[in-house]
Copies of this chain bind each other. A is one copy, B any other.
Amino acid sequence: MQQRRLQGALSEPRGAETPGTAAETMAPAGAKRNILERLDAGEVVIGDGGFVIALEKRGYVKAGPWTPEAAAEYPEAVRQLHREFLRAGSNVMQTFTFYASDDKLENRGNTQRYTGQQINEAACDLAREVANEGDALVAGGVSQTPSFLSGKSEEDVKALFKKQIDVYVQKNVDFLIAEYFEHVEEAEWAVQVLKTTGKPVAATLCIGPEGDLNGVSPGDCAVKLVKAGADIVGVNCHFDPETCVKTVKLMKEGVEKAGLKAHYMSQPLAFHTPDCNRQGFIDLPEFPFALEPRILTRWEMQKYARDAYSTGIRYIGGCCGFEPYHIRAVSEELETERGFLPAGSEKHGSWGGGLMMHTKPWVRARARREYWEKLRPASGRPFCPSMSTPDGWRVTRGHADLMQQKEATSKEQLKVLIDKANQGN
């Protein structure tokens, strides 16, 4: 097999219990080049994958509220996932603080045991601990708020972001990400708050080529974000890699047409969504408990990495559905560009090379790139269609149906919703 250069100390199996032993091989935290130095130098920065879906499957996040209290409750589970992404090649450990604004946590009943501050702090500590085990930076994140959806004022919404930011500044994260915004307006507010810290700022919307929920085009969205102060712009979540790369391409064209400059990032779903409308995978009938047949293979992920790179995207990561092996596939696809493989590739032959040691000869015959590139995987589900018709309720910010409440939906409220849903079908 080819001579492969695996990354850093991690390629030496550690054998010892304490992960800390790996730390000796890394440069002191202060010495790491920051995110903009890397991107300015044209390097590829590999992001991590989404935590809520991965941890939901492992048993530590509740689907529905999707809140990150596990950072405080089950730190070993969160740490392990960080470590797996690091091992897969991630250069960024995002704090597990999705939906960790106080209004969301209160809405969802998660502040009884831990305050929002405690959760945000715990998430920072975990990200930093694992980032220190390798060549990764820590990014503190904020995302869209129930307050915005319910029509609260700019001041109120910004105050919520400020509260999270205060923790990130105190914990000295390396840079900040405003992510998962359906309305560019709220994202601009977030960027403005984040910008006050002096740290580099990335901003990603969860939109597709049709633009945000108010119909602002990807190009215009990107221009607004750059003007608000974002150093890196792009998309995350809601759509599959193909759609996301296409959307970032439109953003890039918009920014360049406006005579501005930015770096670009994409953190798509690991689910195929050719049948989505503007609202993305939330509206697919399979969301969130029957998305399995849509999960991308590692080979489809390599295609994503290549497409993103060719489009000029240099911050390449993932969101919901990404497992560590998906990030590893991104790293393996970009081995030449980066000059090395991730530590985790010690357990993975490129293009299926490990199969050369399989028991069955016909499986050994699959140890080659052309086999996996050409394969069109069957679903084993002859009664299921290839595509779905997404829900399409066409409600946006301020609509009564979107008002957020602390209580779970009542039986009566649920009945009304189900009736609406049935009429739609």
Contact = CB atoms under 8 A, between A and B. Distances in A.
Interface in A379-425: 379-389, 391, 393, 395, 401-402, 404, 408-409, 413-414, 417-418, 420-421, 424
Interface stretch (A39-47, A61-69, A306-314): A61-69
Interface string A120-132: 0000000000000
A159 interface: no
Name, among A56, A59, A285, A388, the residue most crowded by chain B CB atoms within 10 Å (CB to CB).
A59
Contact of A80 (B76, B108, B297, B364): B76
A347 B250 CA distance: 39
A64 B355 contact: yes
Given A84-B59, A382-B382, A361 B393 contact: yes
Interface residues of A, number: 115
A240 interface: yes
A280 B149 CA distance: 45
B289 A380 contact: no
B377 A387 contact: no
Contact of A368 (B108, B353, B414): B414
Interface in A334-387: 344, 346-349, 352-368, 372, 375-387
Contact of A14 (B73, B272, B366): B73
A283 B14 contact: no
A385 B387 contact: no
A36 interface: no
Contacts of A359: 146, 149, 402, 404
Nearest to A271: B380
A240 to B, nearest CB: 7
A297 B289 contact: yes
B408 A356 contact: yes
Nearest to A144: B359
A421 B391 CA distance: 25
A417 B272 contact: no
Contact of A386 (B1, B287, B382): B382
A66 to B, nearest CB: 8
A397 to B, nearest CB: 12
A401 B295 contact: no
B417 A365 contact: yes
B386 A17 contact: no
Given A61-B347, A359-B146, A385-B384, A379 B294 contact: yes
Contacts of A204: none
A274 B73 contact: no
A87 B60 CA distance: 10
A335 to B, nearest CB: 16
Given A60-B347, A62-B347, A408 B1 contact: yes
A363 B287 contact: yes
Contact of A381 (B364, B386, B417): B386
Name, among A72, A354, A372, A395, the residue most crowded by chain B CB atoms within 10 Å (CB to CB).
A354
A286 B377 contact: yes
Contact of A414 (B108, B356, B375): B356
Interface of A: 1, 13-15, 17, 19, 56-65, 72-77, 80, 83-84, 87-88, 107-109, 113, 146, 149, 240, 271-275, 279, 282-299, 323-325, 328, 344, 346-349, 352-368, 372, 375-389, 391, 393, 395, 401-402, 404, 408-409, 413-414, 417-418, 420-421, 424
Q: Which 8 A-B pairs have the closest CB atoms?
A: A272-B380, A64-B354, A59-B344, A365-B417, A365-B421, A290-B377, A293-B379, A382-B382
